[in-house]
Structure 1
Amino acid sequence: MSGPNSDYDPVEVSTLQPEEVAAARDAALAAIAGATDLEQLKQARIEHTGDRSPLALANREIGALPPQARKEAGQRIGQARGAVSQALAARQEVLEAEREERMLVEETVDVTLPADRFPTGARHPITTGSELIADIFVAMGWEVAEGPVIEAEWLNFDALNLGPDHPARTMQDTFWTAPAEDHVVLRTHTSPVQARTMLSRQPPIYVVCPGRVFRTDEYDATHSPMFHQVEGLAVDEGITMGHLKGTLDHFATSMFGEGITTRFRPSFFPFTEPSAEVDLVCFVCRGTGLNGAGPESCRTCRGEGWIEWGGCGVVNPRVLAACGIDSERYSGFAFGMGIDRTLMFRHGLEDLRALFEGDIRFTTAFGTEL
């Protein structure tokens, strides 16, 4: 067995030859000196100081040398790498200074010039959408009713036939204020406004109630812990589901155009009986379920021809009685749907969060009116 190689043979590692190291150093310095902007300098840094650069690879080969040869090779490589690092730092400083000077020249603004254009601003689509909905019902002879967003538990739940054991009372859906014994919540719907209206006046009552509501939902593309609802209430003699259907058909047509009607699907809500889910004829495919003239399904309604919109029903007699209205003489209907979701349908928005993030570019796109 032969002993270890104790002799230094320069041919063994050619990348450590003085002329090879000098060539790698000179190439790096030339590339650095030739960089005319920071992006080119960054590329030169990667090519000549990165892990795969010639000097970096040569540095790794030092370990292959006999012990007595490592010191000399290490000094040679170190000096070369140091020269490259110094050149990089110096060139970086020069190019950054040039960039700053160029920016000062190119981005100079004469603040003494008279302004000839002022941004007109824009109203938020939630605001204009709420007003549009209110105008539709005011034109029908209804009134707009408002109420506080911090509401008594009795008005938010008990007056609406939501019993003490109803799951909506739990922290799963409701924001409760402290202390708990005050029985105060952030309203989970605008129905308490309806209850306040029935408690303060006698029929006939025709009110629409737009406003903010709060639930402990996740914040994502289709959910928010704060959103907007519009609810309607009609209480009069002889009110039927037919009046409700006609009202919602007119509402849908006003919001989405001619030919848009609604359909009812049986459902359950504690404050209405009977109750129904409201679906819209898809305003994109007009109920055909197809995407244009081709065989593909409509992406908006997923080929069903209908889009879920909200809930409705005939006011439960218990709710009328709780608010001091004679349920033997009067009947009524109520409905509710999300303003945010209605605007998403109307304008093709894909992410609910765009309505709440305060980006002026989003608001400006809607102008001053819808």
Structure 2
Amino acid sequence: MPAVKRAADGEEPPAKKPSSLKTNGHSKVAISFYDLDGTLIKPKSGAQFPKNRDDWVWWHSSVPELLKKEHEAGRHLIVISNQADPRDHIKSEWRAKLSLIAAKLPKEVPVRILAALSKNDVYRKPNIGMYEVVEKIYKDRGLEIDIENSVFIGDAAGRAAKGPQRKDHGDTDYKFALNVGLKFVTPEEHFLKHPRPHFPEPPNGFRPAKLGNLASLPHIVPSHTPITRPALEIVIFVGPPASGKSSFFRKHFASEGYEHINQDLLGSRDKCLRVAEQFLAGGTKVVVDNTNRNRETRAHWVRLAGKLNVPIRLFHFLCPLELAKHNNVYRACYGPADEPTRTLLPALAFNSYASAFEKPSIDEGFDEVRGVNFHFEGSEEQRRKWDMYMLELKR
């Protein structure tokens, strides 16, 4: 039976002996990466989704023979698949189906399979976690992926409906290939030699490059006064989740004697107010790092400043909502090791912020209101990942 290996829930496939990755003496290896459902196989029942382990046929009768030819040409064959049904019996059926697929492959044609079993993590396409697992396996064996001669074949290309052809269920395969830097082709091109179909190039969806050169914007406006002050004060931040507020605090305020007040850590607004008042009464400045999305929420802090007779300033984080959603996925999946681990927030957190947002104004009682434009900070490799297409949260 051909070799079938898988990675599930972010785990690396079991270690293989170096000899099992045949390379014909070359250290650079060309790989044909395939999606599974809708690319190599399809439901035998004709339904949109398979009913059980037996509900599958080859996507086209030519699939096994072409896989054999790819292998004979020295290419490695790896399946990269999103599988996200959390029910154990569905996962069990899927795993059993892999053995049935393997039994139908041409003899001695090794196919390795990696599957993302979570809807929201670094391994789920278009995120590149599964590719990085493959890259590490090869690197550990002294091999390098020949990316210029490798290819990703997948059906999720963002194509519109045409005649009897249904529209694609998404464009994650296309975005995954772009994120990695792989040539992308559809199953029709690869197996049937059809001409390249029409699909959006570049694909629909957000990536930071679409906003232009964010770094050209002034980081803080106005910028002629110091960010911090020596005197006792309250500073509050306003902005959506993942707009850079906590990073801004760590960079500019943490070392200047300010205490960090955050509702996610303290649990409630009332506790935030009590803790902040205690710090201020003891002569310690505070930064209120919450979304503070409307006048009513901010008024609690203006009243506290009046009660204690201390100045209150506001920093408004001018991060577009699409970018904040993007940052949310980036920091949860690719966040630097030297920064706090962040969990992935649901789309509701951003949508509820936007629906209740009221632009802050100095006439609310603030001594100063300043804007903060988002500037990405990190290495070139971190910037490359930040500028990729990310998961689009549906919930």
TM-score, length of structure 1 as denominator length: 0.21
Higher helix fraction (1 or 2):
1
Structure label with greater radius of gyration: 1
TM-score, length of structure 2 as denominator length: 0.20
